[in-house]
Amino acid sequence: MPQYVALSEKTFYVKGSPATLIHVVDDEAFIVDPGSGSKRRKTLRSILRSLKVSDYSIIVTHYHADHIGIVSKLNASKVYASELDSVFVEHSVLRNYATYGYQISGESKYLLYSAPDTKVTDILKPPCRIGDDIEILYLPGHTLGQIGVLLPDGVFYIADAAFGDRVLSAVGIPYHFDAILALETTEKLINEQDMYEKIIFSHGPLLDKKDSLNVLELNRKRIADVISKVRKTLGNEPMSVGEITARILREYGVDQTVTLQMLASITIRSILAHLSSEGYAEAVVSEKGVLWRKK
């Protein structure tokens, strides 16, 4: 099995979850989201050797542990991350708090992945460029400062702005730190489809443009559906974030675990915050803690 797929003369796709892109400019490589695990590290090192690059930098699209696990071990000359996300790349406690809602540090059975504190050397303020031809754009929602990497050959790495259909079915409620922003980002990606030739999802198959647009549409619909389910679930009977989350996950028919409920409740909290500022929902105090109801 070849270790990578050449998407153009300069851009190479390494399968995985997350998928990794390697873009070569002269004898320098840019690695987008290297991933995690020692096997991944070996694979990437061997690909870099075969591409005969003398120097490489890493671009981190957002702070999630599965995307950055091996960054600190790759000894890249530079590590790029967005201004908004870099503090969470550098501090794992803040990262886990933002991701799961708990100040968990180190290894924990509740975390899907863990990654050490990871040094960022270069802060990106999108929209901006790295060198002459790598374009960096904000794709907020999944995290507040998530970026997309648009390469000169039209390959656009959109990270976790959208997920493959299998991932979407498995999780029911896709993880977005801010679901409203994530919805706007998917709409923008669909509306501005002329700006790229090919989009790459971190978690999902390598697709042609037509199929990937269908996946974007699937993600747009799912986020909109989750928002409408939260609206419908809110009634006169006040409910906790946990109850609302579990009920909607049940409606999607997914296997619920502690980790999935933790992650999904972050998406739900963001929707409740939005509905509250719209005047649609309100929080009330109760013996079970804070509960939510329709206003």
What is the binding site for Zn ion (CB under 5 A)? 64, 160
User: Which residue number, 91 or 294, has a Cβ lying nearer to Zn ion?
Assistant: 91
User: Which residue number, 10 or 176, has a Cβ lying nearer to Zn ion?
Assistant: 176
46 contacts: CB under 8 Å, gap ≥ 6: 3
Q: If phi over 0 gives left and psi between -120 and 50 gives alpha, with beta otherwise, what is residue 106? A: left
What is the C-alpha to C-alpha distance for residues 100 and 110, in angstroms, rounded to an integer? 9
Q: Would you state the structure tokens that stand for residue 82, as one six-digit string?
A: 């967005």
What is the C-alpha to C-alpha distance for residues 293 and 295, in angstroms, rounded to an integer? 6
- The answer to whether the CB of 118 falls within 8 A of the CB of 36 is no
Q: Would you state the structure tokens that stand for residue 9, as one six-digit string?
A: 């003369």
- Closest distance between Zn ion and the C-beta of residue 62, in Å? 6
- Closest distance between Zn ion and the C-beta of residue 160, in Å? 4
User: Which residue number, 64 or 198, has a Cβ lying nearer to Zn ion?
Assistant: 64
- Closest distance between Zn ion and the C-beta of residue 41, in Å? 19
What is the C-alpha to C-alpha distance for residues 182 and 162, in angstroms, rounded to an integer? 9
User: Which residue number, 141 or 238, has a Cβ lying nearer to Zn ion?
Assistant: 141
- Closest distance between Zn ion and the C-beta of residue 139, in Å? 11
User: Which residue number, 266 or 268, has a Cβ lying nearer to Zn ion?
Assistant: 266
Give the CB-nearest residue to Zn ion. 64
- Closest distance between Zn ion and the C-beta of residue 175, in Å? 7
167 contacts: CB under 8 Å, gap ≥ 6: 174, 203, 204
